[in-house]
């Protein structure tokens, strides 16, 4: 269990005057949730930095002594669901924390107080029908649109207060990526590497393009690449600076099955190397195949956040889901059951 | 993939040099467009080569000023505005904006390349024009022409910026830019030549093209610099402040 950001803020205020958080937790917790059991882990956000504490000792007077959480060893890593490699470590501090994010376009509320967290080494899927608020959520995280309220903490950086620092830690693949049409592939790679502060030699660029199977296209302009090649290049550029978090907006839209599988494999490789990924998708197959956890968003509101397996288990007996299921309940049945069958524009 | 390599914001110098290098490559690949932008000024210079025609425009300095103004108008209003509108519609700016590069660096790099194009056009027109109209500018006057080119280029770039600030779609920007281009050219040629009468002649004098043309004529004939040239300078600064203000205030990075 972790404290919400309101309590974190109270802690932050207190910690501004004390050298140790001892005795704080239960008082804040009691104040906020009288009678509730006290927490065992506390994440404290202070001046843009995040610290995680665990209860080291419980005193006779009921107060707690907190100690910084030790870094998890590889042996402590808990296996993820669906037999995927045990890279995601539940309990490890979130690489991305979105709290009460609200985005409105005039009177239309596109994202309504959405909160979620992505852990280190986790692939998190944001699912939703057209116009549900997926891209608006991503755009707010990326800093492309200014949210009305809420907070986005990326790797401990407040992205609203320090947008460029936050962007330096994220890699982005937009839904419709376009690079300057006059530039060749190598020139595009050099440009974006420079924008992320990475100096690449000609040989390094050639090696990188070879790794994604584009060595023969190095001197072509971007528009001459096929859809799959464009996506591969776009993903390569998104991770050229080894970001802490990769944001992918419908990365496999319009790709053939081969390209889609290849992209899944690349996404999985990025996760294996310790990267965290937030992706939006319309494909339930993709969500099930790639994501550790998924969140379903509709009409700007986050409906649920679970592992794909738990989502099905939790909702398989929901009458709305049973009504649309044909045989064994799938993730798509749950999705349609929760968001409705009507077509969205 | 770890956050080690991207622990901090990239150095501003590296960001700017990367953007400028890329924009310079685009500039080189558009060199044909630059040559086409020179066609109209050269046509103006050649078609006013006779004594009478030159006299109608107030002298060789004014003709050269008019030709430079047209060149800058062409490359700024048509070239810059259309490129920005097209890149915005294609999502090029959005892709750049999700990098740690400050947004001002993206526009600064583009404007720097546009300023370079303007300088090349201005110098080329002065060299060709001085041959055709038998004017011998001193090195100091060439330097002044370069300075005024930057100012005049800023006038037309600010108009282009206002245009892409007020109009979203690339197609609409193209249509409005061409219309504006035609109106300013016609007003410049017909107004300055006196063909439309005294009223339009004085209106034309204070349009962006007229003010810029007067400035160029002023620096090419410094002995005859008088209050109208100073007023033209102030008018140019006024245009820059107003149009750049509009362009920055209402500019949207996304075409949607």
Confidence tier at A82 by pLDDT (50, 70, 90): very low
Confidence tier at A71 by pLDDT (50, 70, 90): very low
Total of domains in chain A: 1
Sign of the dihedral through C-alpha A255, A258, A260, A265: negative
The whole-number average pLDDT for the span A98-107 is 93
A238 domain residue, yes or no: no
A42 domain residue, yes or no: yes
- The Cα–Cα gap between A86 and B187 comes to 72
Question: Are the beta carbons of B99 and A196 separated by less than 8 Å?
Answer: yes
Taking only the tens place, the pLDDT of each residue in A253-283 is 878 888 888 888 888 888 888 889 999 998 8
Chain A contact for B134 (CB, 8 A cutoff): no
Chain B contact for A273 (CB, 8 A cutoff): yes
> Mean pLDDT, chain A, as a whole number?
79
Question: Are the beta carbons of B98 and A192 separated by less than 8 Å?
Answer: no
Q: Are B77 and B156 in contact (CB under 8 A)?
A: yes
A17 domain residue, yes or no: yes
Range of the domain at A62: 5-68
- List chain A residues with CB under 8 Å of B29: 182
The whole-number average pLDDT for the span B174-203 is 84
B98, B103, B109: best mutation site toward chain A, by most A Cβ within 10 Å? B98
A166 domain residue, yes or no: no
Chain A contact for B35 (CB, 8 A cutoff): no
A194 or A227, greater pLDDT: A194
Highest mean pLDDT, choosing among A35-39, A165-169, B43-47 = A165-169
Question: Are the beta carbons of A196 and B17 separated by less than 8 Å?
Answer: no
Q: Which among B6, B29, B94 has the least Cβ separation from residue A174?
A: B94
Residue A198 pLDDT > 50:
yes
CA trace torsion A205, A206, A210, A214 (10° rounding):
80
The whole-number average pLDDT for the span A143-153 is 93
- The Cα–Cα gap between A103 and B133 comes to 62
Q: Which residues fall within 8 angstroms of residue A90, CB to CB, at 6 or more apart?
A: A78, A119
Interface predicted TM-score (ipTM) of this complex, two decimals: 0.86
Chain A contact for B11 (CB, 8 A cutoff): yes
- The Cα–Cα gap between A338 and A311 comes to 11
The whole-number average pLDDT for the span A26-45 is 52
Look at residue A83 in the predicted model and tell me its pLDDT: 38
Chain A contact for B104 (CB, 8 A cutoff): no
Q: Are A245 and A95 in contact (CB under 8 A)?
A: yes
> Among A2-11, A156-165, B238-247, where is mean pLDDT lowest?
A2-11
Residue A75 pLDDT > 60:
no
The pTM of the whole model exceeds 0.80 = no
Q: Which among B3, B22, B25 has the least Cβ separation from residue A169?
A: B3
- The Cα–Cα gap between A225 and A314 comes to 43
Cβ under 8 Å to B: A residues 29-58: none
Scanning the structure block, which residue is given the tokens 């969205």?
A344
Taking only the tens place, the pLDDT of each residue in A286-312 is 898 899 999 999 999 999 999 999 999
Question: Are the beta carbons of A179 and B94 separated by less than 8 Å?
Answer: no
Q: Are A172 and A247 in contact (CB under 8 A)?
A: yes
Q: Which chain A residue lies closest to B3 (C-alpha atoms)? A: A244
């Amino acid at each position: 269990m972790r404290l919400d950001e309101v309590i974190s803020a109270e802690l932050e205020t207190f910690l501004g005057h004390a050298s140790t958080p001892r005795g704080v937790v239960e008082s804040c917790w009691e104040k906020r949730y009288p009678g509730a059991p006290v927490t065992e882990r506390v994440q404290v956000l202070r001046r843009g930095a995040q610290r995680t504490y665990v209860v080291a000792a419980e005193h006779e007077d009921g107060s707690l002594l907190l100690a910084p959480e030790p870094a998890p060893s590889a042996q402590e890593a808990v296996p993820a669901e669906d037999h995927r490699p045990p890279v995601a470590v539940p309990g490890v501090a979130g690489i991305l924390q979105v709290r009460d994010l609200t985005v409105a376009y005039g009177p239309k509320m596109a994202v309504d107080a959405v909160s979620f967290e992505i852990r280190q080494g986790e692939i998190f899927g944001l699912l939703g029908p057209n116009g549900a608020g997926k891209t608006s959520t991503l755009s707010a995280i990326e800093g492309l649109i200014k949210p009305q309220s809420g907070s986005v903490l990326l790797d401990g950086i407040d992205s609203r207060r320090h947008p460029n620092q936050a962007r330096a830690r994220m890699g982005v693949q937009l839904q419709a990526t376009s690079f300057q049409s006059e530039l060749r592939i190598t020139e595009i790679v050099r440009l974006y590497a420079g924008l992320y502060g990475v100096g690449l030699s000609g040989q390094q660029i050639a090696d990188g393009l070879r790794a994604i199977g584009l060595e023969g296209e190095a001197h072509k302009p971007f528009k001459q690449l096929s859809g799959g090649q464009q996506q591969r290049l776009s993903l390569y550029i998104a991770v050229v600076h080894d970001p802490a978090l990769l944001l992918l907006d419908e990365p496999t839209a319009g790709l053939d099955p081969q390209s889609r599988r290849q992209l899944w494999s690349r996404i999985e490789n990025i996760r294996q190397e310790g990267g965290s990924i937030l992706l939006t998708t319309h494909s339930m197959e993709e969500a099930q195949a790639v994501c550790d956890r998924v969140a379903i968003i509709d009409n700007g509101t986050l409906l649920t956040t679970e592992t794909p397996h738990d989502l099905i288990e939790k909702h398989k007996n929901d009458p709305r889901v049973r009504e649309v299921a044909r045989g064994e309940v799938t993730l798509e049945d749950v999705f349609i059951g929760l968001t409705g069958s009507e077509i969205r524009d | 993939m770890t956050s080690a390599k991207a622990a901090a914001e990239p150095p501003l110098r590296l960001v700017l040099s990367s953007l400028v290098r890329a924009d310079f490559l685009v500039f080189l690949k558009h060199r044909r467009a630059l040559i086409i932008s020179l066609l109209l000024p050269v046509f103006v210079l050649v078609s006013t080569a006779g004594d009478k025609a030159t006299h109608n425009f107030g002298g060789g300095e004014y003709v050269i000023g008019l030709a430079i103004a047209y060149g800058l108008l062409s490359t700024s209003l048509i070239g810059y505005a259309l490129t920005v509108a097209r890149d915005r519609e294609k999502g090029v700016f959005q892709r750049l904006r999700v990098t740690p590069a400050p947004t001002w660096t993206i526009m600064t790099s583009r404007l720097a390349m546009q300023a370079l194009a303007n300088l090349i056009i201005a110098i080329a027109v002065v060299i060709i024009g001085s041959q055709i109209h038998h004017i011998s500018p001193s090195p100091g006057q060439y330097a002044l022409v370069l300075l005024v080119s930057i100012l005049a280029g800023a006038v037309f770039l600010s108009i282009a910026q206002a245009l892409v600030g007020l109009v979203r779609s690339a197609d609409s920007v193209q249509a409005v830019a061409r219309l504006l281009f035609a109106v300013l050219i016609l007003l410049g040629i017909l107004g300055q030549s006196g063909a439309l009468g005294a009223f339009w002649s004085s209106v034309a004098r204070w349009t962006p093209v007229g003010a810029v043309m007067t400035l160029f004529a002023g620096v090419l004939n410094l002995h005859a610099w008088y209050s109208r040239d100073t007023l033209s300078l102030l008018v140019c600064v006024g245009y820059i402040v107003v149009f750049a203000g509009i362009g920055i205030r209402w500019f949207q990075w996304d075409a949607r």
